[in-house]
Copies of this chain bind each other. A is one copy, B any other.
Amino acid sequence: MADSNTIRLRVFSLNCWGIRYLSKHCRERYAMIGELLSREEHDIVLLQEVWSEKDFLCLKRKLSSTHPHSHYFKSGVIGSGMATFSRHRIHDAFLYRYSLNGYPYMAHHGDWFGGKAVGMVILNIGSLAAHVYITHLHAEYSREKDSYLPHRVVQAWELQQFIRHTSSGADLVILAGDLNLHPQDLGNRLLRTYTGLRDSYTETAKFDGCEDGITLIADNPFINPKELCPFEKGIRIDYILYKGSGRVSIQCESLSTTKGSVPDHPFPYSDHEALSAELQLQTLTQQAGGDETRGKLAELVDIVTEARTEVKVGLYCAERMRYTAARTGVMGLALLLLELAIAAVPWLALGADQPFPRASFYLLGVLCFAILITTFLLYIFYTMEVKSLQGAEDQMRLAVGSLQERLRRFPLAQPLNPLCRPPDRQDPCPLEPEE
């Protein structure tokens, strides 16, 4: 198989769970990860939850000989937590921060402070331009009552938009990270169908790892199996996705995951399992034809419509919350004004003999002040959320309209690639996942 046109590319992805002083055995685990990476010498390493830049710099020093090129994506209050190491020169880096990412007052979930984003690095592999994406979407804290679902759907929407629009010039596209999405979740279908990215787990010729490719396993000592409920064994939420282009075809030769324990070490690398994919790139001399059908286009319409419904639900909730914040704020203001009126006009108090008690007066003032500040901040925050959801919904409406129009024009008997611009470019479709 291997000839001069074939390149082997090894990609590694791991959510490192690297919260200093909070994650268990953080320092030791980073040392283990560093060891693994310098031993294995993957071409591209994509790490999530490297929350501390110090840890990134420490890894960078350790990997300076095996992975001379690296980039750490900065975003939000704490950072995006995303780091990439490469054996190939990184030429360009770009970051897109998701417009929605949880709530600042849900501090115990912490996602908002992380500034979740998708990062892109462009590197040359031989004569090929590889666009490599890394991301980490908002966590799912409850499968049944997932209040963050609209946020995650918008993130998946923006992720596919970003990848689609920035990868037209790429010979190959790789996306890895913790998507916090099950394989058949809406966001995952949206991402894969729109971009044409293929899942290395379902496509691989050889697999060695946890059953069903799960990456958050019940056997991991850092995991509380109750949190995985109702999935007893675990869930698959970490991915390495890829696609080629007219110039390169890609096959996934093998995929492996770590399996919880690490030989000669008392604990695993992280609470997530690591993914390691070996991709075989074959440079093509001929432009590859499209392999998509009318059905694919119809499927896309369905998925985007489903996503739009989900976003509308989120929009309804956000608008309701904003209304509640505004109402509470008005009540706080009314209370404050009432209090000021009482202070200004003493006879309004319960009587000259019983003046309004001073301590209560000031305490009430503090309360009103706190209510006003909090509701004002919440109102601003919910307004931003509403705008972001409306923006995503507008984009989705536009996309559905455009897809439906193309579907109507699509000849029923001709199963050509509707997502690709045809060779004569008579109909340049800006929505194509592959060029």
Contact = CB atoms under 8 A, between A and B. Distances in A.
A366 B373 contact: no
A317 interface: no
A176 B76 CA distance: 29
A435 B369 contact: no
A391 B129 contact: no
Nearest to A382: B77
A300 to B, nearest CB: 13
A93 B388 contact: no
A346 interface: no
A384 B435 CA distance: 37
A425 to B, nearest CB: 6
Given A129-B428, A169-B435, A75 B99 contact: yes
Contact of A380 (B77, B129, B373): B77
B76 A430 contact: no
A388 B429 contact: no
A399 interface: yes
Please state the number of chain copies in the assembly: 2
A93 B398 contact: yes
B384 A92 contact: no
Contacts of A166: 165-166
B362 A402 contact: no
Interface centre among A74, A95, A431 (most CB of B within 10 A): A74
Nearest to A390: B74
A48 B54 CA distance: 42
Given A95-B391, A399-B92, A428 B128 contact: yes
Interface stretch (A5-13, A119-127, A266-274): A119-127
A17 interface: no
A398 B90 contact: yes
A371 to B, nearest CB: 13
A184 to B, nearest CB: 26
Contacts of A363: 362
Given A91-B398, A91-B431, A96-B96, 7 more contacts: A74-B391, A75-B387, A77-B387, A92-B402, A93-B395, A166-B166, A358-B359
B391 A165 contact: no
B76 A394 contact: no
Contacts of A90: 398
B127 A427 contact: yes
A34 interface: no
Given A362-B359, A365-B366, A431-B92, A127 B426 contact: yes
A72 interface: yes
A161 interface: yes
Interface in A149-206: 161-162, 165-166, 168-169, 171
A384 B77 contact: yes
B430 A122 contact: yes
A385 to B, nearest CB: 10
Contacts of A399: 92
A89 B409 CA distance: 15
Contact of A72 (B366, B377, B394): B394
A370 B395 CA distance: 41
